[in-house]
Structure 1
Amino acid sequence: MLEEAVQKPSTKPQTVLDLAHIHQSFARPGGGSSIVLEDISISLREGEIVGVLGRSGCGKSTLLRIAAGLMKPSSGKITFQGEAVDRPAKGIAMVFQTFALFPWLTVLENVMTGLDALGVKEDEANKKALTAIDMIGLDGFEGAYPRELSGGMRQRVGFARALVVDPTILLMDEPFSALDVLTAETLRSDFIDLWTEGKLAIKSVMLVTHNIEEAVFLCDRIVVLAPDPGRIAAEVEVPLPRPRVRLSPVFREIVDDIYARMTAGRGGAVDEKGKPALGGIGMRLPFTSCHRIVGLMELLAAPPFDEKADLRPLADRLHLDVDHLLPVTEAMQILGFSEMRDGLLHLTPAGNIFVSHAADGRKKLFCDHLLRNVPLAAHIRLVLSERPGHAAPRERFLPELEDHLTARDAEQTLAAVIDWGRFAEIFGYDQRRREFSLPPADE
Structure 2
Amino acid sequence: MLTAFSLKDFKSFREATLPLGSLTVLIGANAAGKSNAIEALRLLSWLAQGQKLASIQYAVNSADRVVRGRLEDLCHRGATRFALGCHTDDRVWNRLEMQITVRDGELHITGEQVDAVGDNLPLYTMDRPSQNLSTDAGVAYNNFARGGNKPHVTVSDQMAVFVQLESAARFEAGHKKAQETIPAVAKRLQTTLSNILFLDPVPARMREYSFTSDKRLLGDGTNLSSVLHRLWGRDAESTSEPFAGQRQAILDFIKSLPEQDISGLSFLDGPRGEVMVQLQETFGGQPRAYDASLLSDGTLRVLAIAAAMLSAPEGSLVVIEEIDNGVHPSRARHLLDSIRLIAERRGLRVLLSTHNPALLDALPDAAVPDVVFCYRDPDSGASKLVKMNSIPDVPELLVQGPLGHLMTSGALERFVKTHKGSEDRKQKAKAWLESLRVGMPIKTPV
**TM-score of the superposed pair, with normalisation by structure 1:** 0.41
Bigger relative CO (Cα 8 Å, ≥ 6 apart): 2
Please state which structure has a larger fraction of its residues in helix.
1
Please state which structure has a larger fraction of its residues in strand.
2
**TM-score of the superposed pair, with normalisation by structure 2:** 0.41
